[in-house]
């Protein structure tokens, strides 16, 4: 826990002076006051997070963490667990949605096996299946175990595994920082069964009924949805997680990838790097991170609001306004990636747009 305590102690509230100073600067640009709406709010937020008047958005890194869930054997997903490693290979070879979008915005993808139920045997993207012209993800093997336990029968992870998962996420960010500057972090996930875990976490932390936070995940039918809700209720009853203890919640109903994303979020906040969270799974990790250190919420930007009903509940609890609302539910980091495009635009407005004085334009009332 020492590494986690060290990181959480570094996370401080944002300075209000940055918001005030940046608002004055925005108000002096050649536009009506507040006319660029949320773009202006995003720009102020980035200045306050980084403590820099002209923050960069050049180096964008998206972490896509993969892990399997033992609860998948309870029939909570439309897909078998074999899809998790298959999609990891797809990420590496450049064929997934996140690969296309990351190439579009100029972001790097780091794919992490943190708990896939089988060994990933590719160190470098394999040539036979590589999609021509697309950006493959960089693979890192940080496997803690071969998937979580079926948490209808007891905790998903041991406390030691839970701590390792969070610390692994912290280490991933700090490895990148040692190699080069990181200006924007994005979170993504892959793991069959992980919306069941995210739903349980959301119900426990927000206090909303399981029925309100549980959605169709990979597209299950009504019968499977009813089963999924029953499974989540059983999980909570069997494990009795403490809603005030993020480690306990994560250990009992979480996943390795959710733990890793929790660490990424905490490390980003500690190092004053804006963290763009993706959808429902990333939202669950954000709930855990903010449970451990409430000031973490200040460093987050919500990339989008997904189709999962629990995601809106998460964002409301976190106090975050989504940048996009495109009915996405893919995961992988796709929503965070798309939002980065607008985040970068907000900073270009702040740093490249002319002022009334420099453009020789009369201000309102003059």
Residues in the chain: 366
DSSP 355: B
Structure-block tokens of residue 305: 């609001």
57: left (phi over 0), alpha (psi -120 to 50) or beta: alpha
Range 176-183 contact pairs with CB under 8 angstroms and sequence separation of 24 or more: 176/61, 176/110, 177/271, 180/59, 181/56, 181/59, 182/59, 182/61, 182/273, 183/55, 183/56, 183/57, 183/58, 183/59, 183/60, 183/273, 183/274
* Alpha carbons 164 and 151: distance in angstroms, whole number: 18
| Positions marked catalytic | 332
Would you call 22 helix, strand, or coil by DSSP? helix
Query: For residues 269 and 173, is the Cβ–Cβ distance under 8 A?
Result: no
* Alpha carbons 301 and 138: distance in angstroms, whole number: 24
* Alpha carbons 303 and 320: distance in angstroms, whole number: 10
Structure-block tokens of residue 340: 């980065």
Bridge partners (DSSP) of residue 66 are: 113, 190
Backbone angles phi, psi at 138, to 5 degrees: -80, 125
Q: Which distant-in-sequence residues (6+ apart) come within 8 Å of 262 by Cβ? A: 165, 166, 169, 246, 250, 285, 288, 289, 292
* Alpha carbons 178 and 248: distance in angstroms, whole number: 31
Closest C-alpha to 340, from 119, 135, 105: 105
């Amino acid at each position: 826990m020492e590494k986690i305590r060290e990181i959480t102690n570094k996370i401080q509230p944002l300075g209000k002076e940055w918001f005030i100073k940046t608002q004055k600067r925005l108000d002096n640009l050649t536009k009506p006051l507040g006319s660029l709406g949320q773009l202006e709010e995003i720009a102020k937020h980035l200045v306050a997070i980084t403590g820099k008047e002209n923050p960069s958005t050049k180096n964008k890194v998206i972490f896509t963490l993969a892990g399997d869930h033992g609860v998948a054997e309870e029939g909570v997903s439309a897909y078998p667990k074999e899809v998790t490693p298959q999609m990891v290979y797809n990420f590496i070879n450049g064929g997934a949605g996140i690969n296309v979008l990351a190439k579009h915005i100029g972001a790097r993808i780091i794919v992490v096996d943190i708990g896939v139920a089988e060994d990933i045997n590719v160190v470098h993207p394999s040539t036979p299946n590589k999609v021509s012209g697309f950006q493959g993800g960089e693979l890192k093997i940080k496997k803690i175990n071969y998937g979580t336990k079926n948490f209808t029968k007891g905790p998903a992870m041991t406390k030691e595994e839970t701590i390792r998962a969070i610390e692994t996420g912290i280490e991933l960010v700090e490895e990148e920082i040692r190699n080069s500057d990181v200006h924007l972090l994005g979170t993504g996930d892959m793991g069959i069964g992980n919306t069941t875990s995210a739903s349980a976490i959301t119900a426990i932390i927000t206090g909303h009924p399981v029925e309100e936070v549980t959605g169709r995940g990979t597209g299950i039918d009504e019968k499977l949805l009813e089963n999924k809700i029953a499974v989540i209720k059983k999980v909570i009853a069997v494990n009795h997680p403490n809603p005030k203890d993020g480690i306990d919640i994560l250990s009992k109903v979480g996943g390795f990838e959710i733990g890793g994303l929790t660490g990424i979020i905490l490390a980003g906040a500690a190092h004053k790097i804006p963290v763009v969270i993706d959808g429902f799974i990333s939202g669950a990790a954000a709930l855990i991170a903010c449970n451990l250190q409430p000031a973490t919420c200040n460093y987050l930007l919500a990339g989008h609001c997904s189709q999962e009903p629990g995601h809106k509940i998460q964002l409301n609890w976190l106090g975050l306004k989504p940048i996009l609302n495109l009915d996405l539910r893919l995961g992988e980091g796709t929503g965070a990636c798309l939002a980065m495009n607008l985040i970068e635009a907000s900073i270009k407005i702040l740093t490249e747009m002319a002022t009334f004085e420099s453009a020789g334009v009369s201000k309102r009332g003059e």
